[in-house]
Amino acid sequence: MRPPKVYSIDEHRIPHYKIDKHAFYVIEKLRVNGYLSFLVGGSVRDLLLNSRPKDFDISTSAKPEEIKKIFKRNCILIGRRFRLAHIRFGKKIIEVSTFRAGETNEAELILRDNIWGSPEEDVLRRDFTINGLFYDPEVQTVIDYVGGYPDIEKKIIRTIGVAKVRFIQDPVRMIRLIKFKARFKDFEIEVNTKKALEDCKKEIVKSSPARILEELFKMLESGSSKRFFQLLTKEKLLDLLSSKLSDYMEKEKDVFDFLQIIDDSIKKNFLIKIERPVLVTSLIFNMLDKCLKNEYVKKNKPVHLGIIFAESQKVIEEVFNPFFKISRKLKAQMISILMNQYRFYPLIKSKKRKIKIPKDPFFELGLNFFYLRSMLDPTLINVYNLFNDKYLEQKKRKPIKPRDQEI
């Protein structure tokens, strides 16, 4: 393999102060103990793009058990297919991976990924060139084995190696390709990578459902969820994962209005933390609401919480099965969120309403979801305030005052 291209501080201009101090500490401690270690992947990419990295990941020659020995109780090892070390600093986690090898040019699904290797081998098994860069904080250099630095300058998303082979080896890379296209709007997908996406999209069903669900969650939390799901629908990948949700997104655009509110809220550090059950419920609420109005309200059929419970279960099953297998807890949280929407604002309005807080452990999630709805429809904010005041009074805690609806 050719030696890497090394870029000095005069060329890459990454400010030293933007590197996380705990990441510095982990790298230095690994090096003191005789191991190679670098910042790697997304954090290097984001620093070069002059944006703030969400995470600072580290790659090292130390094996997981050796990392554990160095950091002791501050370190936990996770994963089977891909063994990682998480170094804890309070609530912050620095993720440390061992240099890996083992990917070949064979177009077959990779089932295990714990074959240790060199820095060069580790880079070659990563997904895209823009994620294949090392940063050495000791001498402040960017180390590039795969042409990632010029691709960032040219705003190109390109696989490392043969795109078709890479997508067959790990189909989740296709979801990540859409993810990066959604996040970096002015980047273009390289022509061979684009063609491979079209040729290999059916391979996506061979992926781990848990890994894809995690990627969907991350994008819902990213501030770019609207564009991500638009692209996922356009490229017909969502149709393979959830035909029900894909059909709805192609025909109805209201879910994208919801995602836009969530994206804007996340970008502006919204006061109320938007938790994952709330985020994923945003994908299906309008679907349920239309069903209830069309099948019950318009036909003058009685609609009560028992019916809403059953219809909520049905929608969740249709959207997330058979590919996704969401946990029982998440399903219970989503059903609670959906049911509580009709406690706050019933389908058939009554003249006399009594504000009553149910004994529901997930009630606050439903309240937070209803506040998101009020940002789309400001006429709901008074109802939100009534329930929120009553809830806080019941819980006897400091009130949370919603911000203005303008984003």
Q: Are 256 and 249 in contact (CB under 8 A)?
A: yes
**C-alpha span between 43 and 48 (Å, rounded):** 9
Half-sphere exposure of 307 (CA within 13 A, CB side): 15
**C-alpha span between 225 and 231 (Å, rounded):** 10
Count other Cβ atoms within 10 Å, centred on residue 173.
Answer: 25
Q: What are phi and psi of 165, to 5 degrees?
A: -65, -45
**C-alpha span between 25 and 31 (Å, rounded):** 10
Q: How many helices (H) and strands (E) does the chain have?
A: 20, 10
Half-sphere exposure of 396 (CA within 13 A, CB side): 0
The helix (run of H) or strand (run of E) holding residue 249 is helix 243-251
Q: From residue 156, give the alpha-carbon distance in Å to each of 14, 150, 199.
A: 20, 9, 20
The helix (run of H) or strand (run of E) holding residue 250 is helix 243-251
Active-site positions read 55, 57, 127
Say whether 58 sits in a helix, a strand or coil. Answer: strand
